[in-house]
């Protein structure tokens, strides 16, 4: 079922009641997965389910989207050529890596005479936002940059794409994944592997 609701409208209560109902009707708790955005919310949902049901509820999996994807990829990411011992970059570390890629790019340009006014050059945080928008919406960088929100930096499209390619290589060389990668590779593997997808549905 799909529920569209705003803050304070009872989304969590609805989900908790739904899971309790599923347990009461014989659905194995090991087959129930609750995903949310924060560890705090996941913990709260689990506690509320236990209070509504019984000890079986402790076997229900409740976690964040990113932690679920990380666990899934530890088992399955070798299909993409990436090692299972990857390290996850948090948002701050990922932004720092984009900054390093930008600095590397500008340093190379500086050696040949800096052709840019650095006051107008896109900030690393904005470049990271462009990358996130492209990955999470499964679109190209050009499609993201065509949006009016990025009109001011569109002229730097080739430079932005160069920096993000350096960012991609930086991660690949060090076996790193950021939060966007966790979602992207999980979706990619499930979309491409019908057997695995059907097995998880069971």
Model confidence pLDDT, tens digit, residues 66-75: 999 999 999 9
Half-sphere exposure of 80 (CA within 13 A, CB side): 23
Strand 87-89 versus strand 33-36 pairing type: unpaired
Asked whether residue 41 carries a pLDDT value surpassing 80, the answer given is yes
Q: Which helix (H) or strand (E) holds 100?
A: helix 91-111
Task: Annotate 165-195 with DSSP letters as a single string.
Answer: HHHHHHHHHHTEEEHHHHHHHHHHHHHH-HH
CB atoms within 10 A of CB 184: 18
Say what the pTM is. 0.84
Asked whether residue 147 carries a pLDDT value surpassing 90, the answer given is yes
pLDDT by residue (tens digit) across 14-37?
888 999 899 999 999 998 999 988
- The mean pLDDT value for 131-144 works out to 93
CA angle 63, 67, 70 (to 5 degrees): 145
């Amino acid at each position: 079922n799909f529920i569209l609701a705003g803050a304070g409208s009872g989304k969590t209560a609805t989900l908790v009641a739904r899971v309790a109902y599923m347990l009461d009707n014989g659905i194995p708790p090991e087959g129930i997965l609750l995903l949310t955005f924060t560890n705090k919310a996941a913990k709260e949902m689990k506690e509320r389910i236990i209070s509504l049901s019984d000890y079986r509820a402790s076997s229900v999996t409740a976690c964040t989207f990113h932690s679920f994807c990380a666990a899934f990829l530890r088992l399955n990411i070798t299909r993409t050529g990436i090692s299972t011992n990857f390290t996850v970059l948090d948002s701050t570390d990922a932004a720092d890596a984009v900054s390093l890629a930008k600095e590397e790019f500008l340093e190379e340009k500086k050696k040949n005479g800096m052709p840019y006014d650095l006051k107008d050059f896109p900030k690393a945080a904005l470049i990271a936002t462009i990358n996130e928008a492209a990955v999470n919406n499964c679109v190209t960088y050009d499609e993201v940059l065509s949006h009016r929100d990025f009109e001011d930096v569109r002229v730097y499209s080739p430079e932005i794409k160069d920096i993000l390619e350096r960012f991609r290589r930086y991660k690949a060389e060090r076996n790193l994944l950021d939060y966007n990668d966790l979602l992207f590779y999980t979706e990619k593997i499930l979309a491409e592997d019908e057997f695995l997808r059907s097995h998880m549905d069971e």
